[in-house]
Copies of this chain bind each other. A is one copy, B any other.
Amino acid sequence: MAEKFDFLQTKEVKDFNQELEKYDLGPLWEAIPELMHHRPKPQAEAYLWKGEVLQKKLMEAANIFTPERGGERRAIYLQNPGLKYRQPWGWASTTQTLYAAVQLLLPGEKAPSHRHWQNAQRFVTHGEGAYTIVQGQRIFMKEGSFLITPGGLWHGHEHVGDKPMIWMDILDIPMVYSIGGTFFDHYPDLLEQPSLPDDFGSQRYEGGVVRPISDRHSHIAPVGCYRWEGTLAAIEGLSRFEPDPYDGYAVEYYNPSNGETANPTMATWMQKLPKGFHTKAHRHTHAVIYNVFKGSGYSVIDGVKFEWTEGDYFVIPNWALHEHVAYEDTFLFSTSDLPIMEKFNLERSEALDTGNGRQEIKSEFKPKTL
C-alpha cells in the first residue's frame, strides 16, 4: 500500500476524498502512501548553521532581552527548514524529535528555576563561571562540560563569573509535544537555594569504573555534570587502538547507576577524528545534531558536502548516508534520538557498500552567513 495507483488521480476518487473530509474522515488510499514510506523519509533536512551567526544573534538578543524585560532564558533555537511546517513555531524542531538551541548568559544574570518533563541537557562551548542549580546542587560550568537535567528535576542558572557564557541546550521538546504529555512548573522562588555540596555529582565520580555504594540501584542523574577532563582522558585512552570506521574515537555519556544513557531519551557522544581521518559512510534510523567543538573538516550527507569549522552546528537526518573528514584533530559533540528508536524497536543501520564505503560528492551546501 505504499504506492499510489493511477486510478487515484481520477475525478471520481478526488470527489470521494472531499466527501470524506466533510465528515472528518480520511482516505487511506491517499494518506498511507505518503505516510508509510518504504524507507525513512524524514521531513527534517540535512542542515548546517554557522557558529558566528549564532554568536552574533545572541549578542543582539542580549541588547533586547535583559533581565528587567522578562526573558527567562536567552536562547535561539536551530529551526530545521524541513520542519517549519509543523505549527506553531516549527515545534522548535531541529530534528524530528529533538530541539537544539544556543543560550547566552551574561555575568550577573539569573535564569529562574523551573521543572518540566521534557529531558534537557547542556554542552558548554564558551566561557566559565556560571552555575546551574539542579535539585539543590550547584553545578559549575566551563568549556567542554556536559550537563543533564532529566525530566522532573528543578533547574535554574546564575552567572557569578565575569565573561559571557554560551552553551548548547538539547531537549526532546518536539517529541513530547507530538505525543501530548507536557507538564511544566515554576519554582516558588526565583532560584532554588543550595541544599547539597557544589558539584557533588561530578566530585563523586572522579576515578575509575567504580561508583559510590549509594548509587548501586538505578536512579536519575547520579552524575549531573560530565567534565571535559574526564571525557578527554577517556578518548585519549581509546585512541591507542583502532578507531571505529564510522565514528573514529567515540564515547557515550552514561548513567553509572543503571548503565543507560545519561538522559533517557537522548544518546550523547563526544568523538575525536584525528587529522586526515575519513570515516566510511553509513546511515541509521536515528538522527544526530552535531556541534563542532574543536577542529574543522566536512561531512558528506546524501551526496552533499557540508564544510564545517569550530563552533558550527549541523544535523544528519534519519536514514541519511553520511561520512566525516577531519582537516585537523577534531572533536565533535553530538546528541541523537537513538534511545527513542531503540524503545520502539526502530533502530536500523546500513553501511554503504560501494565506492570503498565513500560517497560521491554531488553538490555543496551553502550555509547562511552574516
Contacts and interface: CB of A to CB of B under 8 A. Distances in A.
A355 interface: no
Interface in A232-257: 232-238, 240-241, 244, 247, 250-257
Interface in A289-316: none
Contact of A32 (B34, B92, B95, B174): B92
Interface in A209-224: 209-214, 216, 218, 223
Contacts of A229: 207-208
A191 interface: no
19 contacts: A7-B71, A16-B64, A25-B76, A29-B72, A31-B92, A40-B182, A175-B179, A175-B344, A203-B237, A204-B234, A206-B236, A207-B231, A208-B229, A209-B256, A211-B252, A213-B244, A213-B251, A218-B259, A255-B259
A227 B208 contact: yes
Given A77-B26, A81-B24, A1 B117 contact: no
B79 A340 contact: no
Oligomer copy total: 4
A210 B252 contact: yes
Interface stretch (A83-91, A126-134, A158-166, A356-364): A83-91
Given A36-B173, A70-B7, A207 B230 contact: yes
A229 to B, nearest CB: 7
B265 A344 contact: yes
Given A207-B251, A254-B256, 6 more contacts: A28-B76, A35-B89, A203-B241, A210-B231, A210-B252, A213-B269
A243 to B, nearest CB: 11
Interface residues of A, number: 155
B24 A47 contact: yes
A49 interface: yes
Given A61-B16, A176-B346, A255-B259, A37 B184 contact: yes
A213 B247 contact: yes
A278 B31 CA distance: 38
A57 B23 contact: yes
Contacts of A241: 197, 200, 203-204
Given A101-B28, A206-B233, A211-B251, A22 B89 contact: no
Interface string A59-76: 011001100011111111
